[in-house]
Amino acid sequence: MKYEVNNRGYYGKFGGAFIPEMLYPNVKELEKNYLKIMESDSFKTEFLSLLKNYVGRPSPLYYTKRLSDKYNINLYLKREDLNHTGSHKINNTIGQILMARHLGKKRIIAETGAGQHGVATATVCAREGLDCIVFMGATDVARQMPNVEKMQMLGATVIPVESGNKTLKDATNEAIRDWINHPKETHYIIGSVVGPHPYPDMVARFQSIISEEIRKQLQEQTGSPLPDTVIACVGGGSNAAGAFYHYLNEKTVKLVAVEADGLGLETGETAATMAAGSPGIIHGSMTMLMQTDDGQIVEPYSISAGLDYPGIGPLHAHLFDSKRANFIRATDTEAIEAAFELTRMEGIIPALESAHALAALKKLNFKKGETVVLNVSGRGDKDMEAYRKHIKSETKKEKQVDTHAEKETHDIFRASYSVPENTMQQRADEINGLYVP
């Protein structure tokens, strides 16, 4: 089985470039040039130097003493939370801003959900002196003010998106529309391993620094570059793509992707695309996505704004289809509890996204003493409000946190959406029916 993108832009049955003809020249230009640029010595030297001196890489690989004891494993955390701007997102934006410069682009656009990718993009634009326009759903603008203010301080223009459901999916649509309207001078810095080919591959390559470092660091600390298991959370899937990348062809290494399950699959209030979705096209890519019987894309739900995406990168759809990775789910509550466990046992406050990966520790059957690497994709500063609520409920001895009230939904399809019954078989049939390009 091959896990790299093929020369037509597909991972198995997934990927491709399902874009309106208006975008064809832009995407083609990028496709023709991205590898040549990325593999040039001047690009590599500058990229690696910025990752070291600006981002602060390599990020540490930290052996957890107490958590390892608790789960009877050897647990290492990859500390992407310690990067400049607070998450793995900066690895990609550094790469793409250099790409934009090599392509001669003067204007940068990006989409953002919680604002992490928006801040990472505004940051590299400030450094490069380029105009930066960030599309952000109006609902997200209202609930993520600190990140909006950061982007503005960095000199970016934040455009609240009023179309559709006013969240990440719609912000992405609006960024793509902007690109259609400004094709020549603009580079679109997409924030995850999603979108038309070559974006999923380009972003995965920029993020692959994560597993490149893990291999070296694990070799130094354990004498082998190979863990038994790698765990990462998946929304669009960029941090997981980075953490898995250099292990995709290492058959002994188990890959675990953790999706956000919101209030639980059976409630329909979920963002677990692999469990609740079916094959289709979103943002220019053939992948798995959450949709109604009529093929309308559904707004997902998760407490974590970074995992709250109705699709998933085509690489992950392929890892699922080929059974290379194991996809599991963690609910809002499980994620919050896992965040507190890490905080109180190791003194690290993780982002809500990473907390979903941590929740997997309770769900997996590990061999005693196996080596596990878990990617802590970001830090929890932005999530203090959700965590504060949990502290309050702890003191009040309330059992459940009412996480759902956090997010108002504007989704007109939600009412008609329920996770299909017999979903496993139906999904398998639909995937089997897909064409292999």
Partner 1 sequence: MNRINKLFETKKDNILSIYFTAGHPAPETASTIIELLQDNGVDMIEIGIPFSDPLADGPVIQQSSQQALADGMSLKKLLHELKTIRKNVQIPLLLMGYFNTIMHFGVESFCKQANAVGIDGVILPDLPLEVYKEQYKDMFKQYNIIPVFLITPSTPDERIRETEALSEGFIYMVSTSSTTGAKQGFSNENMSYFKRINDMNLKVPVITGFGISNKTTFEQACEYSAGAIIGSAFVKDISGEWELENKIEEFIAKLK
Nearer to partner 1, 25 or 146 (CB): 25
Binding segment toward partner 1, per CB under 8 A, in 181-189, 220-228, 340-348, 349-357? 181-189
Site string for partner 1, 200-239 (x = CB under 8 A): ----------------------------------------
Sheet containing 285-289: give its strands across: 10-11, 14-15, 285-289, 278-282
Number of chain positions touching partner 1 (CB under 8 A): 38
For the bound state, the minimum distance from the C-beta of residue 284 to partner 1, rounded and expressed in Å, comes to: 7
CA distances from 247 to 4, 121, 212, 352, 410 (A): 12, 28, 9, 25, 40
Residue 390 within binding range of partner 1, rule CB under 8 A: no
For the bound state, the minimum distance from the C-beta of residue 186 to partner 1, rounded and expressed in Å, comes to: 11
Task: Provide φ and ψ at 158, rounded to 5°.
Answer: -100, 120
Give the separation between CA 55 and CA 42, rounded to whole angstroms: 19
Residue 291 within binding range of partner 1, rule CB under 8 A: yes
Contact 221, 76 (CB under 8 A): yes
Instruction: Scan residues 53-92 and list those touching partner 1 (CB under 8 A).
Output: none
Nearer to partner 1, 284 or 306 (CB): 284
Q: What is the pairing mode between strands 186-188 and 229-234? A: unpaired
Known active-site residue 21:
no
Q: What is the largest CA-CA distance in the chain?
A: 59
For residue 264, which amino acid is it?
A: G
Work out which of 46, 71, 413, 420 binds partner 1, going by CB under 8 A. 413
Residues 6+ away with beta carbon under 8 Å from 293:
416
Residue 278 within binding range of partner 1, rule CB under 8 A: yes
For the bound state, the minimum distance from the C-beta of residue 181 to partner 1, rounded and expressed in Å, comes to: 5
Catalytic residue among 211, 278, 302, 377: 377
Contact 420, 426 (CB under 8 A): yes
Nearer to partner 1, 17 or 258 (CB): 17
Work out which of 57, 78, 150, 169 binds partner 1, going by CB under 8 A. 169
Work out which of 159, 281, 345, 364 binds partner 1, going by CB under 8 A. 281
Pull the structure tokens for residue 435: 């064409």
Catalytic residue among 111, 259, 341, 346: 111
Instruction: Scan residues 107-136 and list those touching partner 1 (CB under 8 A).
Output: none
Work out which of 77, 148, 151, 176 binds partner 1, going by CB under 8 A. 176
Task: Provide φ and ψ at 387, rounded to 5°.
Answer: -70, -40
Nearer to partner 1, 122 or 190 (CB): 190
Give the separation between CA 246 and CA 248, rounded to whole angstroms: 6
Contact 117, 89 (CB under 8 A): yes
Site string for partner 1, 10-49 (x = CB under 8 A): ------xxxxxxx-xx------------------------
Residue 284 within binding range of partner 1, rule CB under 8 A: yes
Q: Which residue has the tokens 């765990």?
A: 231
Instruction: Scan residues 139-168 and list those touching partner 1 (CB under 8 A).
Output: 163-164
Task: Provide φ and ψ at 433, rounded to 5°.
Answer: -75, -10
Give the separation between CA 437 and CA 12, rounded to whole angstroms: 8
DSSP string, 230-266: EEEEESS-HHHHHHHGGGTT-TTSEEEEEEE-TTBGG
For the bound state, the minimum distance from the C-beta of residue 386 to partner 1, rounded and expressed in Å, comes to: 28
Pull the structure tokens for residue 84: 């400049």
Closest by CA position to 278, among listed 50, 9, 13: 13
For residue 21, which amino acid is it?
A: E
Give the separation between CA 304 and CA 335, rounded to whole angstroms: 9
Residue 183 within binding range of partner 1, rule CB under 8 A: yes
Known active-site residue 377:
yes
Task: Provide φ and ψ at 193, rounded to 5°.
Answer: -85, 50
Work out which of 173, 270, 273, 304 binds partner 1, going by CB under 8 A. 173
Nearer to partner 1, 29 or 250 (CB): 29
Residues 6+ away with beta carbon under 8 Å from 420:
278, 426
Residue 106 within binding range of partner 1, rule CB under 8 A: no
Work out which of 295, 369, 381, 402 binds partner 1, going by CB under 8 A. 295
Known active-site residue 65:
no
Closest by CA position to 115, among listed 378, 408, 410, 407: 378
Catalytic residue among 89, 105, 150, 407: 89
Pull the structure tokens for residue 365: 């059957």
Nearer to partner 1, 188 or 245 (CB): 188
Work out which of 70, 84, 177, 404 binds partner 1, going by CB under 8 A. 177
Residue 7 within binding range of partner 1, rule CB under 8 A: no
Which residues make up the interface to partner 1 (CB under 8 A)? 16-22, 24-25, 163-164, 169-170, 173, 176-177, 180-184, 278-284, 291, 293-297, 412-413, 435, 437
Q: Which residues are designated catalytic?
A: 89, 111, 377
